[in-house]
Chains A and B, each alone.
Chain A
Amino acid sequence: MPVRGDIAGRRSDAEYIVSSLTMPDAFRSVFDRHFDAVHRYLARRVGRARADDLASQTFVVAFERRASFRPDVADARPWLLGIATHLLMNDRRSEKRSLETVMRVATRREPSYTDQEPRELDAEVAMALAGLDSDMRDVLLLVAWGELSYEEIAGALGIPVGTVRSRLSRARAHIRAQLQSQEVR
């Protein structure tokens, strides 16, 4: 398994996390580097208000579990997104509601809204995502929004790479079929 090198000679996340076992304040560097990315991923999934709380929880949980971080993985972002995804388990309903809201707003076709086309396209994707099983949605969105590789997702969610591959395949097929059926209508 390739070990990611550090960027421009900076200390890697792994080094900060290992240091934080004896000097907890070192973990603040991990927060500074990754808070925005984790918040953005969560906000796209459940909205900004809920993301504020969940992103905060993600870093507290990560700090408490830092002894389990694999030090051969220099970049902590996949691990943090994995924790964020696990925290989302209690928010499955609000995520679905949020997607359904996009669908409803687009269907209303408000006359004041001038740029109708992007909104309709959003609604199609929202509808397709809402119909996905949550485990498949996790994998798909960690690829599409988290920009993680198969190996990183496997490590982040604690599932084998083969499962990642299979869930992503099925998720993509589902989305493709849904989008095509909406085009036909």
Chain B
Amino acid sequence: MIDELERVRRFRSEEPPPSEAARLEASAALARAIHASPRPQRQRQRQRQPRRRRLMRTALVVASIAIGLLVVELAGSGSDTGPPTAAAAALEQLARIAANGPSLVPGPGEYLYVDSINDYPAIAVAGAGKPSCTTYATDHRQLWIGANGSGLLRDTTGPTRFTSPRDRAVCSAMKPSPSTGSGTSNLWFAARCFQLGPTDDMQALSTDPRTLLVQMRRLDGGPRTPAEDFVHIGDFMRETDASPALRAALYRAAALIPGVHLLGRVRDHLGRTGLGVAYDAPGVRHELIFNPRTSELMGEQDSGSSGADFAVYLHTRVVGRLPQSPPIPLSPPCVAGSGYLTHTPKGDVQTGRAPQP
């Protein structure tokens, strides 16, 4: 019995390679682009940042005009079909706790620290038309994000696990093996070198729940459905420096999404008890679990899927320093996400320019 992913994988798997004519034509098109490109490229790269800022400002103006129209759309859809009273009441209670809770916005010299354990599947294929295998590995993820956007991502990956004896056999036969080696990796990054969430400016978001839902749809993309709105709530909560007012707005925005319902007391994958809120899409339930005392996001998990996808959040707090100094200075910042990676014995460092010798 093959699963649905395998069925999709086999669909049109006999597709032959491109024709020589197509390859030559594409190669010629690329050659024309290369020939037409200005030199030197460095100067062009430096000029990108102001243009990007202008584009962002334009986008914000366009978005704010459109928001007026879309707020009407959301307002019309939420009132009669919103979450049941129990979920709305629980989310409002969490919103009040969040609004009066400590700020998670790091000040100068401070870092937002988020410590989590994640478990996601990885699918490996030996080549076209060959069998695939699915592996799992538990990842201990520690993230420090400074006020200026620089920081450290530390990943400690556990041993690879297999979903079935067949998967183990298929994976073992692959050369090289898809099993990820367990161990710890460090990646330090300068400002603007590493984008974590859907936006790098959480403080620009509205604290009005209806407007916020519209902004999240624009920034996070995806289908314009209640299921996707619920995904956005998680996206803007995890590993972000949302202010207390914005966190409160996120809970209130969740309360506007039709179909969101209260699970009550649930256990996360560490066995901790929290308050569960869920959205049931066909065949899968997406759950967010909150600490009822602090309102913090404790975990998220999908039930009904073939695997066991989950994340649990151990600590989310503001700290005064990085746990380990970077091996080279975290400067200059990246420009338009472009930067240089330097390998060192302590880990990798991404900065906007190659370090001076």
Interfacial residues, chain A to chain B (CB-CB below 8 A): 1-3, 14, 18, 20-22, 24-25, 27-28, 31, 35-36, 39-40, 43-44, 48, 51-52, 55-57, 59-60, 63-64, 67-72, 121-122, 124-126, 128-129, 133-136, 140-141, 143-145, 147, 149-150, 158-163, 165-167, 169-170, 172-177, 179
Q: Are A145 and B187 in contact (CB under 8 A)?
A: no
Q: Are A2 and B155 in contact (CB under 8 A)?
A: yes
Q: A44-B12, A170-B283 are in contact. Are A63 and B30 (CB under 8 A)?
A: yes
Measured CB to CB, the nearest residue on chain A to B141 is A1
Q: Are A149 and B122 in contact (CB under 8 A)?
A: yes
Q: Which of B15, B30, B122, B125 contacts A60 (CB 8 A)?
A: B30
Q: Are A174 and B187 in contact (CB under 8 A)?
A: no
**Which residues of chain B have C-beta atoms less than 8 A from A43's C-beta?**
15, 18
Stretch at the interface among B41-49, B93-101, B322-330: B41-49
CB distance from B224 to the nearest CB of A (A): 10
Measured CB to CB, the nearest residue on chain B to A165 is B309
Q: Mark B278-301 against chain A: 1 for CB-CB distance below 8 A, else 0.
A: 000111101000000000000010
CB distance from A48 to the nearest CB of B (A): 8
Q: Considering the chains assembled together, what is the distance between the CA atoms of A122 and B187 in angstroms?
A: 44
Q: Are A150 and B120 in contact (CB under 8 A)?
A: yes
Q: Considering the chains assembled together, what is the distance between the CA atoms of A167 and B120 in angstroms?
A: 13
Q: A24-B34, A149-B122, A175-B8 are in contact. Are A31 and B221 (CB under 8 A)?
A: no
CB distance from A175 to the nearest CB of B (A): 4
Q: Are B48 and A67 in contact (CB under 8 A)?
A: yes
Q: Are B350 and A135 in contact (CB under 8 A)?
A: no
> Using a Cβ cutoff of 8 Å, how many contacts connect chains A and B?
226
Give the residue among B40, B153, B281 with the most A Cβ atoms within 10 A: B281
Q: Which of A18, A169, A175 contacts B340 (CB 8 A)?
A: A18
| Residue B67 at the chain A interface, CB threshold 8 Å | no
Known A35-B26, A56-B26, A72-B187; 11 more pairs at CB < 8 Å: A2-B185, A28-B31, A40-B15, A59-B30, A63-B37, A71-B350, A129-B11, A135-B228, A144-B8, A149-B123, A173-B304
Q: Which of B23, B125, B282, B343 contacts A173 (CB 8 A)?
A: B282
Q: Considering the chains assembled together, what is the distance between the CA atoms of A173 and B281 in angstroms?
A: 9
Q: Considering the chains assembled together, what is the distance between the CA atoms of A69 and B122 in angstroms?
A: 23
CB distance from B321 to the nearest CB of A (A): 21
| Residue B201 at the chain A interface, CB threshold 8 Å | no
Stretch at the interface among B72-80, B163-171, B331-339: B331-339
Q: Are A144 and B9 in contact (CB under 8 A)?
A: yes
Q: Which of A35, A57, A143, A166 contacts B231 (CB 8 A)?
A: A166
Q: Considering the chains assembled together, what is the distance between the CA atoms of A52 and B23 in angstroms?
A: 8
| Residue B319 at the chain A interface, CB threshold 8 Å | no
Q: A67-B336, A162-B231, A173-B304 are in contact. Are A143 and B222 (CB under 8 A)?
A: no
Q: Are A55 and B309 in contact (CB under 8 A)?
A: no
Q: Considering the chains assembled together, what is the distance between the CA atoms of A59 and B335 in angstroms?
A: 22
Q: Are A133 and B120 in contact (CB under 8 A)?
A: no
**Which residues of chain A have C-beta atoms less than 8 A from B40's C-beta?**
22
Q: Considering the chains assembled together, what is the distance between the CA atoms of A129 and B11 in angstroms?
A: 10
Q: Considering the chains assembled together, what is the distance between the CA atoms of A3 and B45 in angstroms?
A: 24
Q: Considering the chains assembled together, what is the distance between the CA atoms of A175 and B305 in angstroms?
A: 11
Q: Are A163 and B18 in contact (CB under 8 A)?
A: no
Q: Are A24 and B41 in contact (CB under 8 A)?
A: yes
Q: Considering the chains assembled together, what is the distance between the CA atoms of A39 and B21 in angstroms?
A: 13
Q: Which of A27, A140, A150 contacts B8 (CB 8 A)?
A: A140
Q: Considering the chains assembled together, what is the distance between the CA atoms of A52 and B12 in angstroms?
A: 17
Q: Which of A18, A27, A143, A147 contacts B30 (CB 8 A)?
A: A27
**Which residues of chain A have C-beta atoms less than 8 A from B121's C-beta?**
150
**Which residues of chain A have C-beta atoms less than 8 A from B33's C-beta?**
60, 63-64
| Residue B128 at the chain A interface, CB threshold 8 Å | yes
Q: Are A55 and B123 in contact (CB under 8 A)?
A: no
| Residue B235 at the chain A interface, CB threshold 8 Å | yes
Q: Are A56 and B25 in contact (CB under 8 A)?
A: yes
Q: Which of A3, A144, A160, A170 contacts B282 (CB 8 A)?
A: A170
A to B CB contacts below 8 Å, 18 in the list: A1-B185, A2-B157, A2-B180, A22-B40, A28-B27, A31-B27, A35-B23, A39-B18, A40-B128, A60-B29, A68-B338, A72-B350, A121-B7, A160-B238, A162-B235, A162-B238, A169-B286, A177-B282
Question: Which 6 A-B pairs rank lowest in CB-CB distance, beginning with the nearest?
Answer: A173-B283, A56-B26, A39-B18, A52-B22, A173-B284, A72-B341
Q: Considering the chains assembled together, what is the distance between the CA atoms of A26 and B56 in angstroms?
A: 31
**Which residues of chain B have C-beta atoms less than 8 A from A60's C-beta?**
29-30, 33
| Residue B242 at the chain A interface, CB threshold 8 Å | no
CB distance from B301 to the nearest CB of A (A): 10
Q: Are B348 and A72 in contact (CB under 8 A)?
A: yes
| Residue B311 at the chain A interface, CB threshold 8 Å | yes
CB distance from A40 to the nearest CB of B (A): 5
Q: Are B4 and A126 in contact (CB under 8 A)?
A: no
